[in-house]
Amino acid sequence: MGKMLITGASGQLGSAVVRSLVAKVPAADVVGMVRDKSKAQALVDVGVEVREGDYLNVQSLVSAFAGVEKIYLVSAVAFSDRVTQHKNVFEAARLAGVRHVIYTSIQRISDDFCPIDGVTASDLETEALLKSSGLDYTIVRHPLYADGLSLFIGDTAAQEGFSAPAGQGRVPLTNVEELAEGGAVLLSQSGHEGRVYLLNSGQAWSFVDIAAALSRITGKAIGYQPISNEAFVAAREAEGWPAHVASFIGGWFNAIEKGAFDQTSRTLEELIGRKPKDLEAILRDAFKL
Ligand SMILES: NC(=O)c1ccc[n+]([C@@H]2O[C@H](COP(=O)([O-])OP(=O)(O)OC[C@H]3O[C@@H](n4cnc5c(N)ncnc54)[C@H](OP(=O)(O)O)[C@@H]3O)[C@@H](O)[C@H]2O)c1
């Protein structure tokens, strides 16, 4: 098997893919790509090679991809030119002779239903670029990361309850470590070329369900108050959030409320060989309960 490179390896998702992959294949076959090697001691500690590369610098990517067969491309961060960065990765991959790229995209019911500003359009464009790149591809569509839930409903949600503009909308929250484990399985196997997979926990929950689960875990009555998107954005701005961040998270809630995430899949379960964490386990992790 050729070398497998994971981008964003200093981040939450990328580092988790590396950790999971070294449990499946020899560490000598795994490369973690970071922007700054001084942030990569954890990768060195698990025995993988660390290379520097920046999505904004094609030459750095061509050098990083030398001798690599497969790339797990952690999507570029929001509030940046994501399409240019992903395009650079595909161009460099072709120049370096990489065979296969796995891209982490966003879950959606359909391409034009309730797109999230700053996410969906750039993911659609990226998917199209990858499919026409001549590279073998696998697209994995990820749901809302459970690990980031406190950003959406507040750090004190498990103690004080929460309000959110989610109505009765349901979302298949999923633990990042488990999505990463699914990614590591895809990297370590063949036969996933040309496939698009929806990866999530296999169950979708409303914020009423989330409040009820928090009540069971804490033994206290945790309430969920549905509010309007405008009220949510205004409340976050009043707390000091930058307006663009408040409306970005408001955009995710709008998609959740309208049902854009209300679709479950057993593919992650099949890849990792067990049922993904249930809601209570997810919330215990997310809120350290
Ligand atoms: N579905 C969801 O709920 C959800 C939630 C959050 C994020 N996301 C998406 O998933 C991705 C991964 O999430 P995460 O939690 O792992 O984010 P994270 O911890 O912030 O990690 C992002 C990684 O991307 C790297 N990176 C940023 N700009 C880069 C560039 N120009 N060139 C090369 N690498 C660059 C960062 O490197 P440095 O360490 O050098 O900054 C870091 O390793 C995010 O980038 C975002 O697109 C999805």
Give me the residue spans of the domains in the chain. Answer: 3-143+174-200+263-277
pTM score, whole prediction: 0.98
Each residue's pLDDT, cut to its tens digit, for the chain (289 residues) gives 799 999 999 999 999 999 999 999 999 999 999 999 998 999 999 999 999 999 999 999 999 999 999 999 999 999 999 999 999 999 999 999 999 999 999 999 999 999 999 999 999 999 999 999 999 999 999 999 999 999 999 999 999 999 999 999 999 999 999 999 999 999 999 999 999 999 999 999 999 999 999 999 999 999 999 999 999 999 999 999 999 999 999 999 999 999 999 999 999 999 999 999 999 999 999 999 9
Angle at CA of residue 252, ends 251 and 253, nearest 5° = 90
How confident is the model at residue 4, as a pLDDT?
98
CATH class entry, domain 3-143+174-200+263-277: alpha beta
Site to probe by mutation for ligand 1, drawn from 6, 34, 77 as the one with most ligand atoms within 8 Å of Cβ, is 77
How confident is the model at residue 33, as a pLDDT?
98
In this structure, what DSSP letter does residue 148 have?
Answer: G
Measuring from atom 22 of ligand 1, which residue has the nearest CA?
11
The dihedrals phi and psi of 48, each to the nearest 5 degrees, come to -95, 155
Measuring from atom 20 of ligand 1, which residue has the nearest CA?
11
How confident is the model at residue 150, as a pLDDT?
97
Measuring from atom 39 of ligand 1, which residue has the nearest CA?
10
Confirm or reject: Cβ of 108 under 6 Å from ligand 1: no
